[in-house]
Amino acid sequence: MDTILINGTVETMAGKAASAIAIKNGRIAYVGSDEEALKHKGDGTKVYDLSGRLALPGFTDTHIHTLHTGESMNRLDLRGVKSVEEIIEKGKEYVLQKDLKPGEWIVAFGFNQNIFDDAKLPSKEGLDEISTQNPIICYRICFHIAVVNSKAIEIAGISSDAKVSGGTLDLNENGELTGVLRENALELAHAAIPSMSIADAEGILASATQAMAESGITAVHSDDLSYISYEGLSEAVANAMARDELKVRIYEQCQCPSLSALEGLAALGLNSGAGSERFSAVCVKILADGSLGASTAYMLEPYSDDLSNTGIPIYEEGDLKELVKASHNAGFAVACHCIGDGALEMFLNAVEEAMCENPQPIVHRVVHCQVGNQQQYQRMASLNMAADIQPPFTATDSAIANIRLGDARTDDSYNWKSLLQHGVKLGGGSDSPVESFSPIWGIYCAVSRKNGAGGPSWLAGQCLSVYEAVSLYTVGAANIANAAYTSGTLETGKYADIVVLDTNIFQASEDGLRDAKPVMTIMGGSITYSNGDIA
């Protein structure tokens, strides 16, 4: 036996009480009592005394952007800024600190105009105050809106008469570009930004996955292919693994905006599940609409605060059906970004048609699933679909949901409890770098539905139990990835992916739950993080 954990409070998430886990060759060899576990001890076995601490299956984030998260650690961070003036001030400081060369891109992210006093978006003129020598792209917190400066417009060759399917460019009263790009219009700027190198990706994987391991994460469902090709990512992952610098399993959500992109994935011999234990394709990723904060999520009815706007559908319904059907027939589960109920309706229609024509045991998933209604949730259950939810969104979106949606639609939105009651499979993610990737924070948000400052629970009837919330990041995550035979619970034969916490969160107060911390993370039998408290 390689490793034995004893004297713990082991929550297997499979209905079995235990205090010990024995590990051999990266898999769980025994779960049960200390006495029986220690019978497996050999000369080289390492034994760790958990001193009563809680051990759980390692956490899985079911929707994250790993490369983007790592890259954002070194970008201009605008989260929490309260005005355009503060963006400009921070931008000027960034330019001085980085000593940038003319023509070098400045990438900023994280502003939220909804917390500005005037709620106005930045403009190209404002960003020009930061630099006229460097192209700048400044992303809203949701990454569905970006603002570019005049240099970026020049380098990218963006014109005021450009037409983009599934996207818009804002113009002022004189018909000139304001610098604001929405949805697919962002691609006009992206085409001019240098792509990520394999070497850069390796370094980001190392730093980002180490930080994730410190949060108790052992696996991620990651959307990265807007930065790098699948082949390039595979090479970067292999190189990071060779140096033992990849600290989580990566289930790749292969961004697939078109039939030609799907053909490219198929040419690589990919479908859902293709790959290795450490890196595999889990699904294709499609974006059907935008975000609530940007008012680009596609709605069945107009926004309550803007009756002229129903958001931006990225696809015509027929085109979405064709792409979903082709993915389904190719053996790919589809993860479709749907925040508005209009986008959700289109995706449900597409899945229903694909399933009717070619029934398969594929679990298609709705990423975010924020705005919907009970009839749509029932349809999801009948189609054996999953919802890939982000509990931290309740802490941030509660401030704007009623304004954007009105009371009636809000009551049916972010309905995690209702989804479970309807029989929809649920997985929990963060959408990092949009939100913190800490699963403990996600669990706290799912249980309390409060923001970081406390206050009353938002839509309190939708609060989950601690067990249900933990399941989002363990059992549920495995189920929606068709990986229940290898992960999600602590059972013999499954991956030895384990997190040990300093607090028994099943017995803790809400504050105790929020403040709980991992003290050890194990992935595939190897310790990926330890704070040194367990010996």
Q: What pLDDT digit, counting tens, does each position of 62-94 carry? A: 999 999 999 888 889 999 999 999 999 999 999
Locus of tokens 């068709």 = 482
Residue type at 382?
S
Percentage of the chain lying above the pLDDT 90 cut: 92
Cβ 135 vs Cβ 149: under 8 Å? yes
Please give the Cα distance from 212 to 388 (Å, whole number). 19
pLDDT value of residue 273: 86
Per DSSP, the residues of 384-400 read T-EEEE-TTHHHHHTTT
Please give the Cα distance from 361 to 341 (Å, whole number). 25
Please give the Cα distance from 152 to 206 (Å, whole number). 30
Residue type at 253?
Q
Mean pLDDT, rounded, for 165-169? 94
Phi and psi at residue 480, to the nearest 5°? -75, -15
pLDDT of residue 370 exceeding 90: yes
User: H/E element holding 24?
Assistant: strand 20-24
pLDDT of residue 175 exceeding 80: yes
Query: Which of helix, strand or coil describes residue 57?
Result: strand
pLDDT of residue 288 exceeding 80: yes
Please give the Cα distance from 436 to 394 (Å, whole number). 13
pLDDT value of residue 356: 97
Mean pLDDT, rounded, for 292-315? 96
Token pair, residue 259, equals 């039939």
Mean pLDDT, rounded, for 403-426? 97
Q: Name residues whose C-beta falls within 8 Å of residue 489's C-beta, 6 or more positions apart in sequence.
A: 12, 13, 14, 57, 474, 475, 478
Phi and psi at residue 76, to the nearest 5°? -75, 110
Locus of tokens 């355009």 = 84
pLDDT of residue 323 exceeding 80: yes
Please give the Cα distance from 174 to 527 (Å, whole number). 60
Locus of tokens 């390492």 = 46
Q: Name residues whose C-beta falls within 8 Å of residue 35's C-beta, 6 or more positions apart in sequence.
A: none
pLDDT value of residue 326: 97
Q: Which sign, positive or negative, has the C-alpha torsion 180, 182, 185, 188?
A: positive
pLDDT of residue 401 exceeding 90: yes
pLDDT value of residue 73: 83
pLDDT of residue 474 exceeding 80: yes
Please give the Cα distance from 248 to 524 (Å, whole number). 9
pLDDT of residue 452 exceeding 80: no
More confident residue, 130 or 195: 130
Locus of tokens 């014109």 = 159
Please give the Cα distance from 425 to 386 (Å, whole number). 4
Percentage of the chain lying above the pLDDT 70 cut: 100
pLDDT value of residue 58: 98
Residue type at 12?
T
pLDDT value of residue 194: 87
Mean pLDDT, rounded, for 297-314? 97
User: H/E element holding 202?
Assistant: helix 198-214
